[in-house]
Structure 1
Amino acid sequence: MCYRNRTVALASLCLATLTATASSQTTQQIVKDANGVTWQETKTVTQRMVPTTEYQTRQEQVYTPQVSTTYQSYQQNYLTPVTEYRWVSRRRGVLNPFVQPYWAHQLEPFTRWENRPATVQVPVTNTQWVAGTRTVSSPVVTYKAVPQETINRVVVSGTPATTTPSVAPSTQPATAIASRPLGGTQMQSDPPRTGMGWVSPSTPGRYR
């Protein structure tokens, strides 16, 4: 079933594509721009299939379980204890030589079991499937034709104007070279740059 649905969807898509291709329109016209160049403009409008997803609601039949409990009667036999009292006579004082024997009568319980029938209620569970309807929202993919325009221009006569980027002269001033002379400035405390001759002292020293 799934394979069949896929085959039908693929066939529908192919048919829609062929229909869109066959419905393409092409128009040609000659146009002239502001620079005097004549162009042959070809305009082609094709139908492009665009998938869209829509949600559709539908009614579907569902079955829900409904559980019911009923009681059925059965006849069952069971044993019931029955207690009754009887008069029992016993002779007293037979072994006592000082007492004359006598008869004593008293009630004593006796229990017996009787088989009696009874009605028993047995619960029986029954499940029934009840039919109902519910609303289901499912996505459906559809294809819509959207027009797509393509324009192709070819020069017929004239030369298209080309713009050459111009380089503006630089208005920045040239880098100024420092006019400060090379080297440092002589300080008064610097030592002399040339050597001086030996000068003998005019006064003789203490040691010879």
Structure 2
Amino acid sequence: MTGAEHDDAVERARLLLALRQRGIRDRAVMRALEEVPREHFVEPAMRRVAWSDHALPIDCGQTISQPTVVALMTQALEITSAHNVLEVGTGSGYHAAILASIARHVVTLERFRTLARTAALRLRELGFTNVEVVVADGLAGYPAGAPYDRIVLNAALREVPAALFEQLAPEGILVAPVGPPEDTQMLVRYARKGGGLERRDLGPVRFVPMLPGIAAVL
């Protein structure tokens, strides 16, 4: 084991302990967080802190969310190996990899072509064949793959668009950071129950804002 690999192992163990202390008990989520190599999803200059519990910058002015937030969101989704999942906001592809480690199939939407291409390549190289990366406007969802058992949004918005709830399956769960994009948001879990939605607030978070449309250049 090289020095860098040893440091990664130490930081990974420290992170897993922190996750347990934060109340992450889902075994599938913990296994995914342990096994997905986060260092492959960050910029080369950030690799030495890849396993720290912090959000880190990536291309196009976006971020890779801190692991405890990814774990909290994933646990709240209650994913099983039978589920079809929609992720809005691919970013580096890290959260898609976590989701794909548990779910049957993941469709992940990204408005920046550069991020989508890079994430698709990373995921393919790491063997995640059950992920479909699509360049699309996340606010509209992806009707071609609907209905989705689970939907997760990785960017903040004032309210979840009706189009996304329409693509949520009966008994489905949607998790999103809801609130003013320029301020702290509330991480919210919506569960479809019968003909309505049950809302549960999970705690304050801070995400980059969700932008409409497909980026013109990047």
TM-score of the superposition, structure 2-length normalised?
0.14
Higher strand share: 1
Tell which has more relative contact order, 1 or 2 (C-alpha 8 A, sep 6+).
1
Q: Which has the larger radius of gyration?
A: 1
Superposition TM-score, scaled by structure 1 size: 0.15
Bigger share in helix: 2
